[in-house]
Chain A
Amino acid sequence: MNVTERNEGNVVVLQLQGRLDGNTAKDFEDKLVAAIDKGKHHVALDLSNLDYVSSAGLRVMLIGAKRIKATGGKFVLTSMHPNVKEVFDISGFTGIFDITSTLDQALGSFPK
């Protein structure tokens, strides 16, 4: 799985590509935690190229959300594939994250 990082103003956009599972979750966690610890407290996760997520991936999302919340920042997930959205729905995670359909909506939701 690939994780790319870029800045959009005061928001860091992390884009995941491929499969987020037990084999790739640790790598994603390391990158997410590194970004937050560097001072990036507004994070948008672009999931448009993610076609699969397991509970290992959900755990990392939760870890990220908790850390960002502790900094007073904002964490938004965007552009989920239907299968990925379904996993969030089944696990009850949809209600605890900020989720938008498009990246533009996500970026527009952060404080300037």
Chain B
Amino acid sequence: MNSLTVTIKNDTTEIPRLAGLIEQFGEKNELPQKVVFYVNLALDEVLTNVISYGYEDDQQHDITVDLTLEERVLTTLIWDDGEPFNPIIAQEPDVELPIDERPVGGLGLLLVKRMMDQVEYRRIGERNCLSLRKKLET
């Protein structure tokens, strides 16, 4: 199996359930433990942002996560039907600042950008699509 699609509700308690499914996918495809860890953490950060800030109503929404492994590249797509929101243009925190001056927040997307090789956002119709690419070392 080299692809996985999971639909979750817009509820952060779904994130550990998703992580379990991705770990299984990782085992079946012999992905390095580090890659699975990075993908799960990146998904946690993105999904937490989407769930917390992406919707203006308090309805239940579906979020779809697609993983595809092809020629040593793992591509993760996150589709949601929330408000238009491009996380890539959010500001990076200054990690050189001493502890007193550092604002508390903004870290999640920094982690995503540093753990993934490529992060791309597109708005397609009524949905946001965030793509995360990770190359597997040969």
Contact = CB atoms under 8 A, between A and B. Distances in A.
B48 interface: yes
A102 interface: no
B108 A90 contact: no
B12 interface: yes
Interface string A85-99: 011001111001000
A69 B15 contact: no
A23 B102 CA distance: 23
B104 A62 contact: yes
A66 interface: yes
Interface in B65-102: 95-96, 98-100, 102
Contacts of B16: 19, 21, 23
Nearest to A65: B99
Is the contact region of chain B dominated by helix, strand, or loop, or is it mixed? helix
Interface stretch (B37-45, B55-63, B119-127): B37-45
Interface stretch (A4-12, A40-48, A50-58, A104-112): A50-58
Interface in B14-48: 15-16, 34, 37, 41, 44-45, 48
B35 to A, nearest CB: 12
Chain B interface extent, by class: 20 to 34
A56 B115 CA distance: 17
Given A23-B12, A66-B100, A92-B95, A58 B48 contact: no
A23 B13 CA distance: 7
Nearest to A51: B37
Contact of B99 (A21, A58, A96): A96
B110 interface: yes
Interface residues of A, number: 23
Is the contact region of chain A dominated by helix, strand, or loop, or is it mixed? helix
Given A66-B100, A91-B95, A55 B111 contact: yes
Contacts of A54: 41, 44-45, 48, 108, 111
A59 interface: yes
A52 B100 CA distance: 25
Contact of A69 (B45, B52, B100): B100
Interface of B: 12-13, 15-16, 34, 37, 41, 44-45, 48, 52, 95-96, 98-100, 102, 104-105, 107-108, 110-111, 114-115
Interface of A: 19, 21-23, 52, 54-56, 58-59, 62-63, 65-66, 69, 83, 86-87, 90-93, 96
